[in-house]
Chains A and B, each alone.
Chain A
């Protein structure tokens, strides 16, 4: 036993790439990693540069003159950002909880081999993976039949379920929840609904974390639903606010004026370039700080998803 470990360690070492190859590969990946994060760094440094230095020298990786003016302005006019933050939080939390329930319950039902309607529901989940109604009819159905225009529901409901997530759940339940557990609970007289809530969900926490993360990032980053269905400024989520500001920096002044400020006065004080980036940073930061910690749940979801169910 002991000798075997040593042997395999040795062969592992033997099988490694040469030092120079390792150096080349490490440099390559350092470079790729840099390319991936460089734009984020640039946006941050622009946001902490003074407006004057930006106009004089352009955007720089190392600010010529530091200034927190943009953040000060953002803080003084935070009402709009906070309102959007509130919308995003409600949508993300609500959507994630509802979505988790809808996704896992269907996943569980599809994982029950003896269930009479299993085939029927498998088709219900499968067909939308290869066919959809397209943008025009989806838009009109949501807007006129389901009456979702200008409401938080328009941001939550259409994104609740993805067939891909349902398949991940089904595969997970089939492979990791032992049939004997479900069977013995049934013999003890538990209903399927009780089994799902009391037994299956509590032993599937890694799956719930994975699906929750997919949902959280989906809702946090969504701007498409808002673009289609939301006109009311008070209902704009963060991404949509960011989009409005990108199109028209004066949007912030207009909005603040609605809340009782002087539009012209605000516009004259507005540090346009750095402020634009400051608000982007305020929105990106939570995601870019959070995702490294949850990365492994993403990867476990990807691995389960890659297994054919």
Chain B
């Protein structure tokens, strides 16, 4: 029986030497629908980035691709226009600035929380806390907009009630740009921390418990156990999350930066990011050729940063690179 099986495998392997046999055909058929999806929804739009180099004007009824090909080339004019506008500095500063803070917080906070929650004696407390802390992750930004307005509503909101209680003036929360960087950073951490904590926690609980036992018997303190066992074991996951986050450094969460502040014009300076800028351009009646320079930077620069980040990680520690 066993010999028969081996013979069949050998036979199978021989058949593999042929160029494209039945198996490959069937697998190609199976992959075809998803492949078509990728072509239509991912690869087709990729060619659209060339409108950044065109003087694009959209004529209805002709189709986008036709319009792209017939629009005249404009060289780097769109980029010139974009970089000369005040927006360029503002949205680059906001997008990258917020993301740098998010990247640091979204690694530091969840790792700390995961290590701490793993120390809790009561599994029941740990489970309940995890469930509660995961809640924000499942709420959409539209729903969070409602949460935020329950606190920041001018007449009825909780924050102004507190201010009044202490005899202070009501604040127009949606017009006070000095508070919003903190509000946005808090909300982003609030929404994501529980979820990221779960990722790290899953890695920690998957570790070999005997490592800690051995360390304990050898007299390692709790801090030493964390420093020399937990953190090194978490490193690959941390690096993966870091690279992915760096690759999205030119992207921003539209819901957070546009929905939550209700698109308030007075908050423009602290909430305008690449995505908000492009969305405004797309829905406004402005020439879309110019914002397409911003869109190009977002796509191409994002791609380059992820490759660079991965390259640096590969130099430092070959096994941790993701590509």
Q: Hey, which bits of chain A sit against chain B, CB under 8 A?
A: 8, 11-12, 14-17, 21-22, 25-26, 28-30, 32-37, 39-40, 42-43, 46, 54-55, 58-59, 101-103, 105-106, 108-109, 112, 114-117, 121, 124-125, 127-128, 130-146, 157-158, 160-161, 166, 183-184, 186-187, 191-193, 196, 217, 221-224, 239, 242-243, 246-247, 273, 276-277, 280, 283-284, 287-288, 291-292, 295, 298-299, 302-303, 306, 308
Q: Hey, which bits of chain B sit against chain A, CB under 8 A?
A: 5, 8-9, 12, 16, 19-20, 22-24, 26-31, 33-35, 37-38, 40-49, 51, 58, 63-65, 113, 116-117, 119-122, 125-126, 128-136, 138-151, 153, 155-158, 160-161, 190, 194, 198-199, 202-203, 206, 209, 212-213, 216-217, 222, 236-237, 240, 247, 254-255, 259, 262, 275, 278-279, 281-282, 288, 291-292, 295-296, 298-300, 302-303, 306-307, 322-323
A188–B146 CA distance with the chains assembled, in angstroms: 58
Flag if A135 contacts B295 (CB, 8 Å): yes
User: Could you say which residues of chain B place their CB within 8 Å of the CB of A280?
Assistant: 143, 146
Flag if B158 contacts A131 (CB, 8 Å): no
User: Could you say which residues of chain B place their CB within 8 Å of the CB of A127?
Assistant: 42-43
User: How many pairs of A and B residues are in contact by the CB < 8 Å rule?
Assistant: 298
Flag if A196 contacts B30 (CB, 8 Å): yes
User: Could you say which residues of chain A place their CB within 8 Å of the CB of B156?
Assistant: 54-55, 58-59, 273
A114–B9 CA distance with the chains assembled, in angstroms: 13
User: Could you say which residues of chain B place their CB within 8 Å of the CB of A32?
Assistant: 113, 129, 132-133
Per DSSP, chain A at the interface is helix
Known contacts A140-B64, A142-B41, then 10 further A-B pairs from the complex at CB < 8 Å, ordered by chain A residue? A11-B216, A26-B120, A39-B150, A59-B156, A115-B24, A117-B31, A135-B279, A137-B47, A193-B26, A308-B322
Least CB separation from A17: chain B residue: B119
Flag if B49 contacts A133 (CB, 8 Å): yes
What is the minimal beta-carbon distance from B196 to any residue of chain A, in angstroms? 10
What is the minimal beta-carbon distance from A129 to any residue of chain B, in angstroms? 8
A222–B141 CA distance with the chains assembled, in angstroms: 9
User: Could you say which residues of chain B place their CB within 8 Å of the CB of A193?
Assistant: 26, 29-30
